[in-house]
Amino acid sequence: MPAGAASRRLFAVLNLVGGVCVLGSYAIGLLSYPESRGAVWGNVPGALRPLYSVSMLLAAAGYFPFSHYVYLALDSDRVRVFGRYGFGAFNAIYALILLPSVLWMPLTFRMIEQPDALLWFAIRSVLFVVGLASLALIAAIASAQPAGAPGARRWALIGAALFALQTALLDALVWPAYFPA
């Protein structure tokens, strides 16, 4: 199997397994701590919560066009990212988004139960890594050559920007300013 095909297969597995794990960690957290669901917001003002809700939906919707672009529009055997890396760069970026994302909800509920400086550092680190990886994803998509279909690339960049707005700005910078409560 060519290296590009193996990288593309890994990308699919990473998204399937990682996506299920992220969603599963959220579901388990929310179902396991029904009395603490509101505490996850910390002191985020009520006026900002609708912005968060819309942004979360847009970020989730944005995941599809950029993942579609990476998986289907790029030639996994020929693509170069940042002028030197192959398709595996996308796998690394996605791993840096998905794997830490699995940890956020369990760490946050633990912090609500037993606040701790080391735990807070872990939460901030998770959010920082995901936010930074989201910004790297925008740069990777923008630098990918050959670029594939221009329309698909444009939608991928829009989706990645919406995703980064949530992860790099709201999650990594705004939410920690209001949490813990």
Asked if the structure places residue 49 within a domain, the reply is no
What are the pLDDT digits (tens) for 52-96? 999 999 999 999 999 999 999 999 999 999 999 999 999 999 999
Asked if the structure places residue 153 within a domain, the reply is yes
DSSP character at residue 80? B
Range of the domain at 82: 3-38+55-178
Q: What is the pLDDT of residue 4?
A: 77
Asked if the structure places residue 88 within a domain, the reply is yes
Instruction: Tell me the pLDDT of the chain averaged across its residues.
Output: 95
Asked if the structure places residue 50 within a domain, the reply is no
Q: What is the pLDDT of residue 5?
A: 86
Going by C-beta distance under 8 Å and a sequence separation of 6 or more, which residues neighbour residue 29? Answer: 105, 106, 108, 109
Encoding tokens for residue 180? 């813990």
Mean pLDDT of 34-46: 92
Element counts in the chain: helices (H) and strands (E): 6, 0
Asked if the structure places residue 44 within a domain, the reply is no
pLDDT at 181 over 70: no
Mean pLDDT of 136-155: 96
Asked if the structure places residue 46 within a domain, the reply is no
Determine the Cα–Cα distance for residues 171 and 165; give it in Å rounded to an integer. 9
Asked if the structure places residue 129 within a domain, the reply is yes
Question: What's the number of domains the chain is made of?
Answer: 1
Q: Which residues pair with 80 in a beta bridge?
A: 145
Asked if the structure places residue 48 within a domain, the reply is no
pLDDT at 180 over 90: no
**What is the maximal distance between C-alpha atoms in the chain?**
53
